[in-house]
């Protein structure tokens, strides 16, 4: 019997692990409690709340697998897990549609000044002649990180009549870019040429503050930046300064250097801030757990 500890809130019925697994569901487990019991389990299932760091991995001497429904692995020390022979799986494929739709949602909301229109109308204003927006059709969409999510956003953008520029650190073959109408370009060209820029890269040493003050300074005055990837990829103070100065048109952040966020970005104009909900749809969450369950069963060759 494989013992599984589910440390965070998930719909465990969707894990569908079957009779080969004994599942212990403890979604409010404290760190101290986790450290005391980690050695009893072969599998840890976590979301973003629980940190599976070096200390936890050292205590978990029976551990064979860490499973994370969703995309990010920022809370798992993947390198140290590998050193200890512990496999790590996640389910990035399950969140593609949810994140892509939210990116397009905030692009449209910023372009049509939706938040300002709603707030003003509720307060008794009738700013019909002030709230002149822009259409996405005919604009340039720059996609930074051309994986599953980036490609889906490119597909939607092309359907809306946008020109697609893309950047990735790994080569993307023509049979992928061609059908999407995407042209691979250097990162600097993404920022200088795009009307809308959407980020889909992991947080790594070479992506920390990848979008800093000098890079933001190369953006068009009307351009919009969207970050649905990882907090820390964008220098939030530099972004807030640019928004206040009006040197870029707007921004939308769903992820932050510190969550919940604090600091200058909270009072910046023309920015939509959301609480890391890019993948928070009923369909995506259900699928994320189901996919992870399949990967756990496959790892242990269980039916």
Distance CA 292, CA 8 (A): 14
Dihedral angle of Cα 185, 273, 262, 279, to the nearest 10 degrees: -80
Query: Which among 190, 78, 7 is positioned nearest to 199, based on CA atoms?
Result: 190
Distance CA 80, CA 66 (A): 12
Query: Which among 294, 276, 292 is positioned nearest to 90, based on CA atoms?
Result: 292
Task: Using the Cα atoms of residue 15, residue 21, residue 25 and residue 26 in order, give the sign of their dihedral.
Answer: negative
Distance CA 151, CA 171 (A): 14
Question: Residues 146, 154: contact at Cβ < 8 Å?
Answer: yes
Distance CA 203, CA 154 (A): 21
230 in catalytic set = yes
Question: Residues 244, 268: contact at Cβ < 8 Å?
Answer: yes
Question: Residues 249, 266: contact at Cβ < 8 Å?
Answer: no
32 in catalytic set = no
Q: Which of 83, 221, 259, 283 is catalytic?
A: 259
| 274 Ramachandran zone, left/alpha/beta (phi>0; psi -120 to 50) | beta
Residue matched to tokens 């072969």: 42
Distance CA 124, CA 126 (A): 7
221 in catalytic set = no
Q: Which of 68, 151, 200, 276 is catalytic?
A: 276
Q: Which of 152, 200, 230, 297 is catalytic?
A: 230
Enter the DSSP assignment of 158. H
Question: Residues 265, 237: contact at Cβ < 8 Å?
Answer: yes
End-to-end C-alpha distance for the chain, whole angstroms: 13
Active site residues: 230, 259, 276
């Amino acid at each position: 019997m494989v013992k599984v500890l589910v440390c965070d809130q998930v719909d465990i019925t969707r894990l569908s692990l079957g009779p080969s697994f004994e599942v212990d569901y403890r979604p409010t487990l404290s760190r101290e409690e986790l450290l005391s019991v980690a050695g009893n389990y072969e599998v840890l299932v976590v979301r973003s709340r629980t940190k599976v760091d070096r200390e936890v991995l050292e205590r978990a001497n029976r551990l064979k697998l860490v499973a994370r429904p969703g995309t990010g692995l920022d809370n798992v020390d993947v390198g140290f897990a590998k050193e200890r022979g512990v496999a790590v799986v996640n389910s990035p494929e399950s969140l593609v549609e949810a994140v892509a739709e939210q990116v397009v949602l905030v692009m449209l909301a910023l372009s049509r000044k939706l938040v300002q229109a709603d707030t003003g109308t509720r307060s008794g204003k009738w700013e019909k002649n002030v709230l002149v927006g822009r259409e996405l059709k005919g604009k340039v969409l720059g996609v930074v990180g051309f994986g599953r999510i980036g490609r889906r956003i490119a597909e939607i953008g092309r359907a809306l009549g946008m020109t697609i520029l893309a950047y990735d650190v790994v080569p993307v073959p023509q049979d992928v870019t061609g059908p999407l109408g995407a042209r691979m370009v250097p990162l600097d060209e993404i920022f200088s040429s795009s009307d809308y820029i959407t980020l889909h890269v992991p947080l790594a040493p070479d992506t920390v503050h990848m979008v800093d003050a000098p890079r933001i300074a190369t953006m068009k005055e009307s351009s919009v930046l969207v970050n649905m990837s990882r907090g820390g990829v964008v220098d939030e103070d530099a972004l807030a300064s640019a928004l206040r100065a009006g040197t870029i048109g707007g921004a939308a952040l769903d992820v932050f250097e510190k969550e919940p966020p604090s600091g200058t970005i909270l009072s910046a104009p023309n920015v939509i801030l959301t609480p890391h909900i890019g993948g928070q749809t009923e369909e995506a969450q259900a699928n994320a757990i189901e996919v992870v369950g399949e990967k756990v069963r496959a790892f242990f060759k269980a039916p």
